[in-house]
Structure 1
Amino acid sequence: MKKLTFIFLALITLRVFANDSAYYASGNQLIPITETDICVTKEVLTIEKKTVYEQNDAGETVGKQYFAYVTVDYTFFNPGPEKTILVGFEAPSPNGDVDGTPKNGAHPYISDFDVNVNSELLEFKTSIVNTENYYVNNKINAKTEEEIINNGFDQNSPDFYYVYHFNANFKSGLNKITHTYRFNMSGSVMGGYNFDYILTAANRWGNNQIDDFTLIIDMGISEIFSMRNTFFDDKSEWKIPYGKCYDSGDEKTKFITGTGRVIFHKKNFKPKGELYLGSSRDEREYGYPAFDYSIYGLPEYINSDISSTRSVDENSFKILRNLPFALRGYVFKTEVIQEYYSSQWWYSPKPEYKATLDELSSEEINWLEKVKSNKWDSEYKEDNKTYYRYAPY
């Protein structure tokens, strides 16, 4: 029988990242705990960020928490006769500024866990394990909650893992599994939100790959986030229906979304790295030191909340000062300006529109005067580098 082990390098990477922040949980693939020749012929992985607002007794909003909602649609192929195998989902413990105490024997920050196999909702169990080879003598070598808590337990750095597991019956030929769950997205003082997803676990199935893989990430409208180039090569492998992406250096790709979705698709996908996604402290909410058109998108409005009226170079200045007219659909004759606004999800060109200052609001005029008075300064680029340095990814 195949020796099953945790992918410890991935799990250690995820936990170490959160030493000065709060690491709650990671997404992961379903994996065969027992040896199998069953193959993953197709997988559609959808990850959606949702915000839950916290309220006090008076009904006032006092905070917010980001959650990653995960839906995975698998198609498996069983080349042999019908069989039942033990399938698992491995989850590292939370780490950092968290309470890592198990919740009823399960992960404290993973919830709404469901598995549907060939249209049948299955029951599952959760085990706590603290060894690399936890499947011994045809059973999971699990620890009780009492055992791990009474043995030098540190709620900020638990030294055990969780395995959600269930028996799945695979008929001969094609089988469908839908797996859904949610987990708290991690964060830090300097970061907005981030999460990780373990992709390499999919290599444990019989074909050691995913024949047809689609990843759909939806962080919401007008979001800015980055991903490490770990399981993909560069921005050319991504489709963004509304928005833009670019290589931001340090082997990262930065995304600016319109409707929210970015899509990655690959045949014969054999992941060599995990998914690491993060957003620095909300750039839409807090602004940025100076506008750089090669890095930042612009919002679909102008008001006093837009803190930055500075630009890093001439092209950025020209683009920024034309924002009021782009919002009204003006079609620009200058190529760099038109290309930039054509990449913004909210831009809707209206060839018949003629730009005039008279139709701008007093707020827009005041904002535009500030932009023109600041003009541009290349030294602002250093401010942007300092600002961006704190992005978690």
Structure 2
Amino acid sequence: MVAVVLLFLLSCCSAYANDSSFEASGSTLLPLRDSTIRMVREDLKITIRGKEARIDVEYVFVNDGPTKTITVGFVTPPAFGDVSEKLQSKPQIKNFTVVVNGKKLVWKIRKVTPAERSQNLHLYAEDFVYLFDATFPRGRTRVKHSYRFNAGSSVDAPIHVPYRLTTGTHWQGGSIDTFRLTVDGGKGRLVGVPATFIGDTVTQLPWKPTGRAVRADSVGYDHYYDDGPRQPDVVWSVENGVLVLEQFNFAPRQDLMVTLHSGLSLYERAIMSADHAWIARLSCVELKELRSWLEMTLSFASGSDDRDYDIDRKVLAIVKQAKVKNQCR
């Protein structure tokens, strides 16, 4: 029996200021015509360094039926927006690898076919698909895959890493027995993750930081999706370590967005605020980000007597005092 599985890697190109950035969105494996294989575990790790994101995923599947050979596809549209035709002519996913039960598989790339588009899975003629054949014997099968992509064009702009979770509900039973998400944004970063999932706006997700990390709600904001629901963000000030989330019998009804925030939100609040007492309560990571933005804007001043930047100088002095008081390095 041959079934077809699609893993969507939805990438898009967006512009920040005068620069262009490529954003890719991965997803949980999606079966098209198979209903006898269960996903019992998904371990997803998102690592962001500079402007690049790396996705590492490991799945454990259980096949309760006979051995099956499955054609697996990873789909990604070309870059679009303010980009060259050359960039639009190829996928923007880099270093794509897939391993099934310890064996690294060979894959090929082609365009999505009309028959695949007719499955009503929001596929388009321009899409590319990575294809490989894998065998799922009766019992457990481990599938690993990884890839990298450019998630931003400027260190001053927020970096967004979307990931589609909802496709995990298409396996037998409609849920993932154990789902574990690890977010590694690097040292000294402001990491935005979902505070709740759509459909449950009361229960806060049990994020567990490792290392030194504290909540930094002053720069949180909401993400909006095409269908309208709102995802409240919670922002963590991470000096070192990672953020970990575990869910059991997980039937996701919304997709994931991870954001590395810059100090722009803090800067805007500081410049517009008449009361700056809140600055003293910021974490060391927030103070670092705010100072970076203040020093950048002051670099445009024509001189120390440029009155247009008086508020920037005032806030910078407050930030420096707060860093000393909070014993920030």
CA distance in 2, matches of 1:306, 1:93: 33
Structure 1 residues 121-163: Cα deviation after superposition (integer angstroms, max 9, x where no partner): 1111222126583478xxxxx9xxxxxxxxxxxxxxx962222
1:294 and 1:73, CA in 2 relative to 1: closer, same or farther beyond 3 A?
Answer: farther
Describe the SS at the equivalent of 2:324.
helix
Residue 327 of structure 1 pairs with residue 298 of structure 2: no
1:325 and 1:296, CA in 2 relative to 1: closer, same or farther beyond 3 A?
Answer: closer
Between 235-244 and 175-184, report the one with greater CA deviation. Answer: 235-244
Partner of 2:237: 256
- The percentage of aligned residue pairs carrying the same residue is 27
Structure 1 residues 241-284: Cα deviation after superposition (integer angstroms, max 9, x where no partner): 2212355354222222121411111001111111123334x329
Describe the SS at the equivalent of 1:81.
coil
1:162 and 1:217, CA in 2 relative to 1: closer, same or farther beyond 3 A?
Answer: same
Asked if structure 2 preserves the Cα contact closer than 8 Å seen for 1:5 and 1:134, the reply is: no
Asked if structure 2 preserves the Cα contact closer than 8 Å seen for 1:237 and 1:264, the reply is: yes
Asked if structure 1 preserves the Cα contact closer than 8 Å seen for 2:41 and 2:179, the reply is: yes
Structure 1: 5+ residue runs without aligned partners?
52-65, 137-141, 143-157, 312-316, 329-345, 347-393
1:221 and 1:288, CA in 2 relative to 1: closer, same or farther beyond 3 A?
Answer: farther
CA distance in 1, matches of 2:283, 2:48: 20
Residue 84 of structure 1 pairs with residue 64 of structure 2: no
Asked if structure 1 preserves the Cα contact closer than 8 Å seen for 2:5 and 2:73, the reply is: no
Structure 1 residues 149-197: Cα deviation after superposition (integer angstroms, max 9, x where no partner): xxxxxxxxx9622222221111111111111111111457973322211
Partner of 1:350: none
Partner of 1:56: none
Structure 2: 5+ residue runs without aligned partners?
223-231, 271-275, 295-311
Asked if structure 2 preserves the Cα contact closer than 8 Å seen for 1:4 and 1:135, the reply is: no
So what's the TM-score if we normalise by structure 2? 0.69
Partner of 2:47: 48
CA distance in 2, matches of 1:43, 1:326: 39
Residue type matched to 1:28 in 2? S
Residue 244 of structure 1 pairs with residue 214 of structure 2: yes
Describe the SS at the equivalent of 1:206.
coil
CA distance in 2, matches of 1:189, 1:321: 25
Partner of 1:30: 29
Residue type matched to 1:43 in 2? E
CA distance in 2, matches of 1:101, 1:24: 17
Shift of 1:28: 2.2
CA distance in 2, matches of 1:76, 1:47: 21
Partner of 2:301: none
Task: Find 1:277's aligned residue among 258, 278, 296.
Answer: 258
Residue type matched to 1:37 in 2? T
RMSD: 4.2
Asked if structure 1 preserves the Cα contact closer than 8 Å seen for 2:6 and 2:72, the reply is: no
Shift of 1:92: 3.0
Structure 1 residues 313-340: Cα deviation after superposition (integer angstroms, max 9, x where no partner): xxxx7x9745324328xxxxxxxxxxxx
Structure 1 residues 328-378: Cα deviation after superposition (integer angstroms, max 9, x where no partner): 8xxxxxxxxxxxxxxxxx8xxxxxxxxxxxxxxxxxxxxxxxxxxxxxxxx
Partner of 2:309: none
So what's the TM-score if we normalise by structure 1? 0.59
